[in-house]
């Protein structure tokens, strides 16, 4: 064999293998020919013709290798575009995801991914293409990471199906993003806000300050979720864009202690909705249950903040206020995490650490005393 015949080698005593790359995938195909000098040259010429057709984008896999496993996959699907894959992803996942999640995927696909990559063949998308696109986006890091999810899924599927030899998204890291810094309200600010509210929104916001519920949980809360005899708020659902859904995590479904000021707000709210049953908090303009957080922000929260003359913070800061009040009072951080629906207290430590009281200066004295009393022993008394 002429060693200059690149990409051609003897496969067996009766066959020759041709090695080439097509659409980013390394292909090895066998020709049933005796490995003679003439046949090696024939194979090399065939390989050269294939490379020429690939360069002209005229290569038809099935014509050259009709019995190859790649003829039915690579031959048909390597020109599959990102847009086609994304639309198939949506069709195949309608029943797999909750409506709110599916809505987010549709937004990512039709507002960002298809306009940017819709006509790009999957096999031609590179890591650099994705990184340059990310750098051009004028949206938050969190949003970018969410937009990347459907793209990562279709590229992973393409890799597992053998359509690409590597996944370009594997080398793209999520964009770092920071959470909004907690900026809880001071007692005087809370008082001013509540004073500027009409009765029903006052009840809503006072309850929010003293229960720590998310806005979606406040909207979905029903009178049947309140156990007045045990001072317990049972959180078991949330309303996201008018759709009732279960908490994302097991910890999200929880019992929250009904603190006195939260109970006071509920007692006053009974006048408006208790006899009706169902949802506790209603929009005073329509006398119907709140539907979305934007209604609460526009109808009740923003006017109260402006009237109180307080620098604007979003309604989620009521939750931060609740956490900071509990921690500043010395409540156990793990208990606070449970009340807020966190899986563990890591988020409490990370976001609210400055409100956790410093360790008692006498900490450690008890174990020292224990060791001192038992200094004559080789080990402390347990």
Per-residue model confidence as pLDDT tens digits over 328-344: 888 888 999 999 988 77
Residue 347 lies in a domain: yes
Residues 248 and 309 in one domain: yes
Domain span at residue 118 reads: 82-171
Looking at per-residue pLDDT, the higher value among 245 and 221 belongs to 221
Residue 380 lies in a domain: no
Question: For position 99, what pLDDT does the model report?
Answer: 76
Using pLDDT thresholds of 50, 70 and 90, give the confidence band for residue 85.
Answer: very high
Using pLDDT thresholds of 50, 70 and 90, give the confidence band for residue 167.
Answer: very high
Question: For position 381, what pLDDT does the model report?
Answer: 42
Among 59-68, 108-117, 194-203, 355-364, the minimum mean pLDDT is found in: 355-364
Residues 317 and 203 in one domain: yes
For 134-181, strand residue ranges (E) read: none
CA distance 250 to 252: 5
Residue environment code for 136-150, b if the CB has 16+ CB neighbours within 10 A, otherwise e: eeeeeeebbbbbbeb
Residues 89 and 45 in one domain: no
Residue 240 lies in a domain: yes
Average pLDDT value for residue range 56-76: 76
Contacts of 149 (CB under 8 A, 6+ apart): 105, 108
Tell me which residue of 211, 305, 294, 224 sits closest to 258, measured CA to CA.
211
The number of beta carbons lying within 10 Å of the beta carbon of residue 321 is 23
Using pLDDT thresholds of 50, 70 and 90, give the confidence band for residue 366.
Answer: low
CA distance 105 to 98: 11
* pTM listed for this prediction: 0.60
Residue environment code for 230-244, b if the CB has 16+ CB neighbours within 10 A, otherwise e: eeebbbbbbbbeeee
Looking at per-residue pLDDT, the higher value among 289 and 380 belongs to 289
Q: How many domains does the chain have?
A: 3
Average pLDDT value for residue range 160-169: 83
Q: Are 115 and 188 in contact (CB under 8 A)?
A: no
Tell me which residue of 292, 315, 291 sits closest to 303, measured CA to CA.
315
Tell me which residue of 332, 292, 337 sits closest to 315, measured CA to CA.
292
CA distance 213 to 265: 14
Average pLDDT value for residue range 48-77: 79
Tell me which residue of 153, 9, 165, 151 sits closest to 78, measured CA to CA.
165
Instruction: For 246-301, write each residue's pLDDT tens digit.
Output: 776 776 789 999 999 999 999 999 999 999 999 999 999 999 999 999 999 999 99
Q: Is pLDDT of 64 > 90?
A: no
Last residue of some domain: 77, 104, 123? 77
Write down the mean pLDDT value for the chain: 86
Q: How far is CA 157 from the centre of its chain?
A: 19
Last residue of some domain: 77, 99, 116? 77
Residues 157 and 197 in one domain: no
């Amino acid at each position: 064999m002429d060693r200059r015949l690149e990409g051609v080698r003897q496969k067996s005593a009766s066959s020759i293998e041709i090695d080439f790359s097509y659409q980013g995938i390394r292909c090895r195909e066998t020709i049933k020919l005796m490995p003679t000098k003439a046949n090696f040259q024939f194979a090399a010429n065939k390989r050269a013709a294939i490379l020429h057709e690939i360069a002209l984008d005229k290569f038809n896999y099935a014509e050259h290798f009709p019995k190859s496993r790649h003829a039915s996959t690579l031959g048909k699907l390597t020109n599959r575009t990102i847009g086609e894959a994304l639309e198939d992803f949506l069709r195949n996942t309608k029943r797999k995801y909750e409506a709110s999640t599916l809505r987010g995927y549709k937004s990512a696909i039709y507002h960002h991914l298809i306009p940017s990559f819709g006509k790009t063949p999957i096999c031609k998308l590179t890591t650099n293409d994705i990184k340059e696109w990310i750098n051009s986006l004028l949206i938050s890091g969190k949003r970018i990471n969410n937009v990347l999810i459907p793209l990562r899924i279709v590229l992973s599927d393409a890799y597992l199906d053998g359509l690409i030899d590597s996944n370009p998204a594997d080398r793209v890291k999520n964009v770092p993003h920071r959470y909004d810094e907690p900026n809880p309200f001071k007692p005087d600010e809370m008082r001013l806000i509540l004073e500027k509210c009409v009765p029903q929104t006052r009840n809503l916001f006072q309850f929010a300050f003293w229960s720590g519920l998310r806005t979606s949980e406040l909207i979905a809360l029903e009178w049947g979720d309140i156990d007045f005899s045990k001072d317990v708020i049972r959180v078991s659902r949330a309303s996201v864009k008018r759709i009732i859904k279960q908490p994302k995590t097991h910890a999200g479904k929880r019992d929250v202690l009904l603190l006195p000021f939260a109970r006071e707000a509920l007692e006053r709210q009974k006048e408006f909705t208790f006899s009706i049953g169902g949802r506790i908090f209603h929009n005073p303009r329509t006398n119907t249950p709140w539907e979305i957080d934007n209604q609460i922000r526009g109808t009740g929260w923003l006017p109260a903040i402006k009237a109180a003359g307080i620098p604007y913070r979003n309604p989620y800061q009521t939750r931060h206020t609740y956490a900071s009040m509990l921690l500043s009072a010395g409540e156990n951080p793990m208990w606070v995490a449970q009340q807020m629906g966190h899986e563990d207290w890591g988020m409490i430590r990370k976001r609210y650490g400055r409100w956790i009281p410093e360790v008692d200066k006498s900490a450690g004295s008890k174990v020292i005393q224990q060791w001192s009393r038992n200094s004559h022993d080789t080990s402390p008394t347990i």
